[in-house]
Amino acid sequence: LASTDVQPFPTVLEFPTGKTGGGHVMVAAGPCGVESREQTLTAAHYVKAHGAHMLRGGAFKPRTSPYAFQGLGVEGLKILAEARKETGLPVVTEVLSPEQVELVAEYADAFQIGARNAQNFALLQAVGEARKPVLLKRGMSMTLEELLMSAEYILGRGNMQVILVERGIRTFERATRFTLDVSAVPVLKSWTHLPVWVDPSHPAGKREWVTPLALAGLAAGADGLIVETHPEPERALSDAAQQLHEHEFAELMEKVRRLSQAL
């Protein structure tokens, strides 16, 4: 269902703030995790002011350690809904289990399936039953073929609004947190009609490398970006080293605009 043999023209997804696919680029931005009302509303206002089309923020966080911050849960979803009301930005947030799909759908405009859940087939089928866009991240050890097979689990249940997200894979390189597979963008775009986005934050692992990776993704043909930014990144409860300061996010958006004009 994802194949260009089935559908030769690009899938274009429309949100109140913009479109993605078929030459239309969108940027989702916001904190890694929703930590407080003030933190999330502050981020929502500035990402909108700098031109983002969507707000991101995790209410349920899939953490490697069970002792790390797990997110605010339902309280976080309510904060995201308030941020949407105040800014008009649609909200994308991660859903961790099939049982959570209905709850998350009540508050969010789009589901995020995290890298660690990219082959949670019951979860993929559950968001496939929903009628909201799904940002499907590539698992850190998944081939592109496997990523497309995961997308098929969603599409097969009738939800055709799937965005594929390259977010870096595990390689022998340890300088960066993951290795952004830029080639995933042209390869996926030749195989599938679905929009392809890049998450430059998680592969970079470090603020100063986020913008170059974002620009590389767009130059390779990505239909969107999902970027982490926090009003006080040093104090973030997750992914502190990679979240952009507001001024860095503003500079990124300016470069995104200039690059888009050049392409």
Binding-site ranges for ligand PEP (CB under 6 A): 32, 58, 62, 114-116, 137, 167, 199, 202
Distance of closest approach, residue 112 Cβ to ligand PEP, in angstroms: 6
Residue span binding Mn ion (CB under 5 A) among the ranges 154-162, 217-225, 235-243, 247-255: 235-243
Instruction: Give how many residues touch Mn ion by CB under 5 A.
Output: 2
In terms of CB distance, is 32 or 184 closer to ligand PEP?
A: 32
Counting contacts by CB under 5 A, is residue 95 touching Mn ion?
no
181 binds, among Mn ion, ligand PEP, none (CB under 5 to 8 A by kind): none
Distance of closest approach, residue 87 Cβ to ligand PEP, in angstroms: 20
246 binds, among ligand PEP, Mn ion, none (CB under 5 to 8 A by kind): none
In terms of CB distance, is 10 or 163 closer to ligand PEP?
A: 163
- What is the per-residue burial (b if ≥16 Cβ within 10 Å, else e) of 143-164? ebeebbebbbbbbeeebbbbbb
Window 10 to 69, contacts with Mn ion (CB under 5 A): 32
Counting contacts by CB under 5 A, is residue 239 touching Mn ion?
yes
DSSP string, the chain: --BTTT--SPP-EEETTEEEBTTB-EEEEE-SB---HHHHHHHHHHHHHTT-SEEE-BSS---SSTTS----THHHHHHHHHHHHHH---EEEE--SGGGHHHHHHH-SEEEE-GGGTT-HHHHHHHHHS-S-EEEEPPTT--HHHHHHHHHHHHTTT---EEEEE--B--S--SSSSB--TTHHHHHHHHBSS-EEE--HHHH-SGGGHHHHHHHHHHTT-SEEEEEB-SSGGG-SS-TTTPBPHHHHHHHHHHHHHHHHH-
The residue number whose beta carbon is nearest to ligand PEP equals 114
In terms of CB distance, is 98 or 205 closer to Mn ion?
A: 205
Here the tokens at position 13 are 């997804």
Q: Which one, of 252, 247, 163, lies nearest residue 204 by Cα? A: 252
Residue span binding Mn ion (CB under 5 A) among the ranges 48-56, 91-99, 147-155, 238-246: 238-246
In terms of CB distance, is 34 or 41 closer to Mn ion?
A: 34
Q: Which one, of 76, 69, 168, lies nearest residue 118 by Cα? A: 168
114 binds, among Mn ion, ligand PEP, none (CB under 5 to 8 A by kind): ligand PEP
The residue number whose beta carbon is nearest to Mn ion equals 32
Distance of closest approach, residue 11 Cβ to ligand PEP, in angstroms: 22
In terms of CB distance, is 21 or 200 closer to ligand PEP?
A: 200
137 binds, among ligand PEP, Mn ion, none (CB under 5 to 8 A by kind): ligand PEP
Interface contacts to Mn ion, rule CB under 5 A? 32, 239
